[in-house]
Homo-oligomer: A and B are copies of this chain.
């Protein structure tokens, strides 16, 4: 579903990604762990072309992200084509980025109505169900500023799910969530995976990675240091850097 080949990315002179290679099979939940500043968020943003990669290739569902191959060259896609690709990729941000001028319900309905062209009634019905799923049915008419941090992140997840994406990207989705709600969210995510959803989750929650992840990737310094089944990577790391990181975290 996702395939990265030697992905490079710099901001000015700062090299953030130094050739990331990884692959996510359909229906797989991949967890990315790693120290702060290792480029986890940046890589995630590259997957839906929010950052343009400098070199390498990124495929989602077999399609090159942001480029088309024609005549042996890589042609940059127009913005409509990129938007079309993004419809299938849901994203949950580290800092929510809810639309502050819309209520929770409106936040969730916005994209289905405006981008997928669903009727307001259909979109509303779906949105209500999703808000219910994340435990916010009572707060659906509140504005983001009236919600606590945890509540906001749950709305953000519902908003991404509303587009019925094939792939979901999560950037530390639980870092602002209440522990008692993490479980609920994991349930939603797991049932999504069972329905055929592929997920890439940047997280600091080792428990979650172990429990839900089909695979774990350890990133450091802009490269994938180690990857494999959570059992192997988290319990018996092969690399010293992974071991050092885990010893502090666990």
Contact = CB atoms under 8 A, between A and B. Distances in A.
A204 interface: yes
B248 A180 contact: yes
Interface residues of A, number: 25
Interface string A199-210: 000001010000
How many copies the complex holds: the figure is 2
Given A179-B204, A204-B179, A206-B179, A36 B248 contact: no
A206 B41 CA distance: 26
Interface of A: 35-37, 41, 94-95, 148-151, 172, 175-183, 204, 206, 245, 248-249
Contacts of A204: 177-179
Contact of A36 (B35, B94, B148): B148
Contacts of A172: 149, 176
A151 B37 contact: yes
A210 to B, nearest CB: 13
Nearest to A41: B148
A35 B95 contact: no
A177 B35 CA distance: 10
Contacts of A249: 179-180, 182
A245 B110 CA distance: 34
B148 A37 contact: yes
Nearest to A244: B180
A165 to B, nearest CB: 24
Contacts of A151: 36-37
A117 to B, nearest CB: 34
A33 to B, nearest CB: 8
Contacts of A175: 149, 175-176
Nearest to A40: B148
B148 A178 contact: no
Given A35-B178, A41-B148, A183-B248, 18 more contacts: A35-B180, A36-B150, A36-B151, A36-B180, A36-B181, A37-B150, A37-B151, A94-B149, A94-B176, A149-B175, A172-B176, A175-B175, A177-B204, A178-B204, A179-B206, A179-B248, A180-B245, A180-B248
B176 A176 contact: yes
A151 B150 CA distance: 20
A43 to B, nearest CB: 13
